[in-house]
Chain A
Amino acid sequence: MSLRAKEYYRASSLEDAYNKLKENPKNVIVGGGLWLKKTGLEYHTIIDLSNLGLDQIKEDKDFIYVGSMVSLRDFENSPIINKLFNGVIAFGVREVMGPAFRNIATIGGSVYGRFPFSDVIAALLPLDVKVKLYPNQEMSLNDLVNYRGKLDGIIEQIIIRKEEGKAFFKKVKTTALDFPMINFSIVNRSGKNYIAIGSRPGVAALAYKAMEEADKGNYEKAAEIASQELQFLDSSNISKEYRIDLTKVYVLRGLKEVNE
């Protein structure tokens, strides 16, 4: 099973890409193209954004701007990203497959896909992240993750607010190249705790009640609440009960680490 398409189009601008996308409901924007292959779906035109300069990471005083075509490898190696939250966000992305895979996969594709197993989304979700979509939309990463249906726009940039704090990331997996059985991303930024848990097997979500409890300094209770407030299910390689037990352990460990 592989991707099928009739045409390949190298866009000359975002406007050009957007117009091409709107021409036919079977046209598709390609990021790295890795997951597109696995879908085995049939498209009319593949639209490539490679020539639009979206492979840059820039910063100003308050924000980091990550172009949607930045590869996961360039993201994890970026000195700008490595300065962020003691390098843990870069570490989370580094957990995805090997470097030859991450040289292809893009930040934009990873976010757009809203994959339940995504380490990228889990790593970024506890941060203040906005997603800029061409032509004229901006939404928080959390809103995008929870958005149901097809996005009307092209992901242009991921905008990360720079904040002081510490982060913890844990991917539980059976082998080095495996999808996560569950992943945890816990961040203390500007004095507040944020807890994201992914691959439950649902896409990463914030545990709001647990976050409130953590802000009171009750980390054990927060870990217990996190294991109750989000939905955990069985998968072929891990039971619901084991996911819940892991949540209690790693949320507590993460909260202690980021609040030391």
Chain B
Amino acid sequence: MKLRFYLNNVEVEYEIQPDEYLAQVLRRNGVLSIRIGCDESACGSCTVLVDDKPVLSCGLLAAKVEGKHVTTVEGIQEEANRLADYFGDEGADQCSFCSVGFALIVHALRKEYKNPTDEQIKDYIVGNICRCTGYQSQFKAIKAYLKEAK
């Protein structure tokens, strides 16, 4: 079946299977920034934005994004680069497998909350797992970034 949607504001049309999930479709079509970690909607590595809301692309049937706007890290590149600097400063990145998911979830957090509390930040990033660093460094980096990005 044909699927049409906007990928980083560019209209695209892909041939998909009815039972395919979005992460597979994006990767097959060259969007290799999508990281499939657990493939069970549990780790957050495959996070993308659909109509500006963060979703797990490995858990979303591709057909559901018909006509919608899908944003990957390429669509928020400048912001992702700035966040990466803060991650670097705090030692919040080692293997970087999770960092794309973090960039997208932090982008969504910033859109949703003007001045998020510590609790709101933690609640927001709880679904993004990092197996290298232990979260305190990410938390500090995100807090510092949000302060600067106001």
Please give the residue numbers on chain A whose beta carbons come within 8 Å of chain B beta carbons, in ascending order: 2-8, 10, 30, 32-34, 37-38, 43, 45-46, 48, 50, 73, 94, 97-101, 103-104, 176-177
Contacts and interface: CB of A to CB of B under 8 A. Distances in A.
A259 to B, nearest CB: 27
A125 to B, nearest CB: 24
Contact of A8 (B1, B42, B53, B54): B1
- Size range of the chain B interface in the assembly: 20 to 34
B123 interface: yes
B42 A177 contact: yes
Contacts of A10: 63, 66
Contacts of A43: 19
Contacts of B128: 98, 100
The 7 A-B residue pairs with the shortest CB-CB distance in the complex, in nearest-first order: A98-B127, A8-B18, A100-B54, A5-B19, A33-B61, A8-B63, A34-B59
29 contacts: A2-B19, A5-B18, A7-B18, A8-B18, A10-B66, A30-B61, A32-B59, A37-B21, A37-B41, A37-B59, A38-B40, A43-B19, A46-B18, A97-B42, A97-B127, A98-B44, A98-B124, A98-B127, A99-B123, A100-B55, A100-B105, A101-B42, A101-B56, A103-B53, A103-B54, A103-B55, A104-B41, A177-B126, A177-B127
A97 B47 CA distance: 13
Given A8-B18, A46-B63, A94-B123, 11 more contacts: A2-B21, A34-B59, A48-B63, A97-B42, A97-B127, A99-B108, A100-B127, A100-B128, A101-B127, A104-B41, A104-B60
Interface in B27-60: 40-42, 44, 47, 50, 53-56, 59-60
B64 interface: yes
Contact of A48 (B44, B64, B124): B64
Interface string B122-150: 01111111000000000000000000000
